[in-house]
């Protein structure tokens, strides 16, 4: 009987314990426009840039509305290897336009809860 109660409790608690969820992952080494992804607010764009060279490396990522192609804004522009996270507070159906030079990139779109979003602050704050 105790095992049944434990299983039922775990099944009922699972939706409340749900942490971040990866919506889409993209990677490559060339310029591209990604597949369409759908996100609810809030969400994260988690990026990583790696390369064999220290110089002449570049990555630019722009957010585009999937239907109509309206440019929402530039998300990132860097000329250094590295990684980072950007928080978004608008739901939508989007694509990413990614431009790169001499580098390998990886981008994850991560759905998070309002409570998790409160844990993220910008460098300026």
In a domain, 16, yes or no: no
Residue 13 belongs to some domain of the structure: no
Residue 31 located in a structural domain: yes
> Is residue 56 included in any domain, yes or no?
yes
pLDDT number for residue 20: 78
Domain that holds residue 30: 21-117
Q: Does the residue 110 lie in any domain?
A: yes
What distances in angstroms separate CA 11 from CA 5, 113, 124, one per listed residue?
10, 19, 41
**Cα gap 59→29, rounded to integer Å:** 10
The per-residue pLDDT for 73 is 96
Distance of alpha carbon 52 from alpha carbon 2, whole angstroms: 56
Report CA-CA distances (Å) from 88 to 55, 118, 120: 30, 12, 11
Domain annotation covers residue 14 = no
For each of the chain's 125 residues, which pLDDT tens digit applies? Answer: 544 333 334 444 444 445 679 999 999 999 999 999 999 999 999 999 999 988 889 999 999 999 999 999 999 999 999 999 999 999 999 999 999 999 999 999 999 999 999 998 665 55
Please state the domain count of the chain: 1
CATH number, domain of 31, equals: 2.60.120.380
The pair of structure tokens assigned to 6 is 């434990």
Residue 68 lies in a domain: yes
Q: What's the predicted TM-score (pTM) here?
A: 0.80
Assigned domain for 12 exists: no
């Amino acid at each position: 009987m105790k095992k049944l109660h434990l299983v039922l409790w775990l099944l009922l608690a699972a939706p409340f314990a749900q942490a971040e969820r990866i919506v889409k992952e993209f990677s490559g080494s060339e310029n591209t426009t990604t597949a369409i992804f759908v996100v609810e607010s809030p969400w994260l764009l988690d990026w990583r840039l790696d390369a064999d060279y220290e110089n002449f490396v570049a990555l630019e990522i722009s957010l585009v509305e999937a239907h109509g192609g309206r440019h929402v804004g530039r998300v990132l522009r860097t000329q250094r290897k590295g990684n980072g996270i950007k928080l978004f507070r608008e739901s939508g159906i989007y694509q990413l336009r990614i431009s790169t030079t001499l580098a390998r990139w990886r981008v994850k779109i991560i759905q998070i809860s309002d409570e998790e979003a409160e844990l993220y602050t910008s460098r300026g704050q």
